[in-house]
């Protein structure tokens, strides 16, 4: 028997997804030698502490036509960034919205927001919305479009 915790074993068993059967949690439980109730309880716990962000469909951006993905970066007043950041993160076209350190003088930006849209023109329109939201707290901004994926192995979890 592995010494890994049930949570770690569940992470490994579902990295590729849930079994597509009528009773997926019972199927996982049978594989792991535990009860269905334990599997459900552990997922509830991992959702509660956000080790699991959500359970459901993970779409492929490109397949849905979201081919323009810009990493927008913003120099926002330190006194206001923690109030404004969640409002940027709540915009429907933004994912991965984080505060990160500046690296002065080369890099003045402290707020990173990934913007997804179907064209660069649409990304630019969405950047205007963020600009308006940040208002007077905004000092400078830029957007970096990806031009090539150099490596994509995914994260090895568990």
Partner 1 sequence: MDELDRAIINRLQGGFPLCARPFAAAAAELGTDEATLIARVRALLEDGTLTRFGPLFDAERLGGAFTLCAMRVPDQDFERVAAQVNAHPEVAHNYQRDHAFNMWFVLATQRREDIARVMDAIELETGLVVYDFPREAEYFIELRLAA
- Residue 134 as a binder of partner 1 (CB under 8 A): the answer is no
Tokens of 74: 């913003």
Smallest gap, in angstroms, from Cβ of residue 1 to partner 1?
Answer: 21
**R_g over Cα of the chain:** 20
CB of 33 to partner 1, least distance (A): 18
131 sits near partner 1 (criterion: CB under 8 A) = no
The site map against partner 1 for 1-40 (x = CB under 8 A) is: ----------x--xxxxx-xxxxxxx---------x---x
Query: Tokens 């003088």 map to which residue?
Result: 105
The neighbour count for residue 33, using CB atoms within 10 Å, is: 9
Q: What is the dihedral of CA 99, 118, 124, 84, to 10 degrees?
A: -30
User: Is 78 a residue that touches partner 1 (CB under 8 A)?
Assistant: no
């Amino acid at each position: 028997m592995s010494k890994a915790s049930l949570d770690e074993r569940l992470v490994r068993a579902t990295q590729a997804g849930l079994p597509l059967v009528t009773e997926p949690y019972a199927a996982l439980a049978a594989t792991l030698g535990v009860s269905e109730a334990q599997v459900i309880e552990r997922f509830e716990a991992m959702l509660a502490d956000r080790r699991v962000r959500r359970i459901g469909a993970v779409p492929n951006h490109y397949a849905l036509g979201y081919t323009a993905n810009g990493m927008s970066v913003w120099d926002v007043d330190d006194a206001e960034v923690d109030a404004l950041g969640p409002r940027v993160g709540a915009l429907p076209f933004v994912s991965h919205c984080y505060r990160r350190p500046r690296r002065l003088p080369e890099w003045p930006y402290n707020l990173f927001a990934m913007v997804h849209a179907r064209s660069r023109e649409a990304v630019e329109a969405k950047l205007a919305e963020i600009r308006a939201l940040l208002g007077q707290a905004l000092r400078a901004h830029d957007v970096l479009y990806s031009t090539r994926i150099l490596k994509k192995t995914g994260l090895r979890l568990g």
